[in-house]
Amino acid sequence: MTTSNTAPPAPLPPGTAPRLTDPRALYDAAVADFGPALVRLAHGYERDPDRRQDLLQDIHFALWRSFASFDHQCGLRTWTYRVAHNVASSHVLRDRRHRARAMVGLEVLEQSPPQEEAPDEHLAGRLDAERRRGQLVALLERLAPPDRQLMLLYLEGLDAAAISEVTGLSSANVATKVHRIKRILAARVRGASAPPSPTGVVHGN
């Protein structure tokens, strides 16, 4: 019996599945690779459990529909995060109109004094196993959608190039904002001597 010397193909990293064209296969691949990240994203945008579940369902529905027009001009991860954050941002803006909730940009938050935010115990153990989750979620809730998006992508471990591709910001702008986010996190997340540094995240100068 002869044996082949051809080695099996190496597994592809997440988000680089074979060039799928069927919308159902693309959706399934996105959920397999990024399903947990979508759950964390929904937690970062919505604290209320029922509304959070509605948001997650909206994200999945929009993602399902979106793959009918997916043209492989960007990676699966970038497409998935774009769709998810667009849906979540719209959710936050609708909520702000209905509840008149004040949200601020990084510039305002950076200049405002720290507040003692009550931890959300329901979220403990879900957003990030190493951080003080309640305080972090409270901080996220104060940010306007563009800055919240950037922070959530940073916490997911995306580097500057990947965040730039998702958000459309320049890499230099991303690096600057990430640096400021790190400073804010260090000052605001109780008990943390330094902000989280996911692997591959750019360090701004």
pLDDT at 183 over 90: no
Tell me the two tokens of residue 172: 């230099």
Local confidence band at 36 (pLDDT 50, 70, 90 cut-offs): very high
CA gap 161, 178 in Å, rounded:
12
Measured CA distances, 90 to 83, 127, 149 (Å): 11, 21, 12
Q: Calculate what percentage of the chain has a pLDDT beyond 70.
A: 61
Tell me the two tokens of residue 134: 């309640």
Tell me the two tokens of residue 113: 């004094």
In this prediction, residue 46 carries a pLDDT of 87
**Reported pTM:** 0.65
Closest CA to 23 of 79, 85, 66: 66
For residue 128, the one-letter residue type is D
Q: List for the chain the helix, strand, coil content (%; round to 5).
A: 60, 0, 40
Q: Report, as an integer, the average pLDDT of 108-120.
A: 54
Mean pLDDT, the chain, rounded, equals 74
